[in-house]
Amino acid sequence: MRKDTFTRFLLIAALFLGQFSFASEAKEAISEEQGTDLKTEIKDYIFHHLKDSHDFSLFSYTKENGEHKYVGFPLPVILWDEGLQVFSSSKFHHGETLAEVDGNYYKLYHNKIYKTDAEGTINYDEEHHPANIKPLDFSITKNVVMIIITGLLMLLLFGSLARSYAKNNGIPTGAGRFFEPIVLYIRDDIARPNIGEKRYKKYMPFLLTIFFFIWFLNMFGMTPLGINVTGNIAITTSLAVLTFIITNFTGTKDYWMHQFDPLGKSLPWYGKIVLYIILVPIELLGLIIKPFSLLIRLYANMQAGHIVIGSLIGLMFIFKSWIGSPLSFGLAFAISLIEILVALLQAYIFTMLSALYFGFASEEHEHEHEAEVAQ
């Protein structure tokens, strides 16, 4: 009885760590019945948790007859396949059935939607990749839902914060007392030192938005909802592209001169030719490397954190002992606490580097002829 209670405690604790659902114990039983290796099952479950999905599943369980039950809600599927096709993701039943829409059949295969025949046949090419037609997918997935929720949360939160400032003569109240020091830190310790006193204000809206957007999404990823938005490379790429666009479209003349004339007037033209063959391509390559480093850093850190925690929780079901399971749970809990700090740290790093790039782009140098006139 005590052992059963302890096992239940571990399962509930694992749920609150936000990495596994109630299906864990059931999946183990299914693996043993079907002869599937438990380690492979846990590995597949971890990577399934990291992926985006066309439905919002809170948790799942298996009945005694082996039927899977999912607790959650479907999301709208929006496809362009010789016209607009809109239907509910419940037609897929988590990839177990085909969706028939206006005589067309669609199958959810590895989280991607393919057009098939009535039997759901998937054809493969020579490299064993699906060769079926893949319609343009504009569906509202789980990640999109969380992006919308985060955006609305920020709008309500900072909208009410602005109203409270106006009402109380600039004195924060309620949640504003918590967020005001963070806003001031981003302004005084990130924007001003890296961009400069003259131009930092025009970048502040973006810096504040990107910091809180990444931070909130990272924190949502630590909840039992199983959301991994910032662990999706498409999302981090979009954020990095925004920084890239703002950096280059607000760049000054000196910024672009430095890209194509990094040596300035320090050498005569004939002495620059050889150096330019090397320096100019490096400077231009740096334009791509900067946003690439932003997207990879955020993606890799958040993805790795989920994999480590999920693996440690999976060890509880492999050990199944009073020594190994509590040890795995303790390590997973400790890593989860560290991940809370990492969630904030990654938002800070992305914002700091963006401010640095903006500072490079908006910097102006005093030209030699201007210095002579001043003398």
Domain assignments of the chain as residue spans, ordered by start: 76-139, 143-367
- Residue 15, C-beta contacts closer than 8 angstroms, at least 6 positions apart: 21, 22, 59, 224
Q: What is the pLDDT of residue 20?
A: 42
Q: Which residues pair with 105 in a beta bridge?
A: 100, 116
Integer Cα distance of 326 and 333 in angstroms: 10
pLDDT of 350 reads 95
State the average pLDDT over residues 356-371.
Answer: 68
Q: What angle do CA 310, 316, 318 make, to 5 degrees?
A: 100
Structure tokens at 206: 């973006």
Residue 149 has pLDDT above 90, yes or no: yes
Lowest mean pLDDT: which of 18-27, 82-91, 255-264? Answer: 18-27
pTM of the model: 0.80
The pair of three-digit structure tokens given for residue 203, joined into one six-digit string: 């970048």
- Dihedrals phi, psi of 199, to nearest 5 degrees: -125, 0
Mean pLDDT of the chain, nearest integer: 79
Strand-pairing partners, residue 59, are 71
Compute the average pLDDT of residues 5-15.
44
State the pLDDT at residue 251: 78
For residue 184, pLDDT over 60 is answered with yes
Write the CA distances from 155 to 79, 140, 225, 279, 306, integer angstroms: 29, 20, 22, 44, 28
| pLDDT above 80: residue 307 | yes
User: What's the CA angle centered on 176, arms 172 and 180, to 5 degrees?
Assistant: 85
Residue 374: band (very low, low, confident or very high) from pLDDT cuts 50, 70, 90: very low
Q: If pLDDT is split at 50, 70 and 90, which confidence band does 271 have? A: low
How far apart, in whole angstroms, are the C-alpha atoms of residue 98 and residue 105? 6
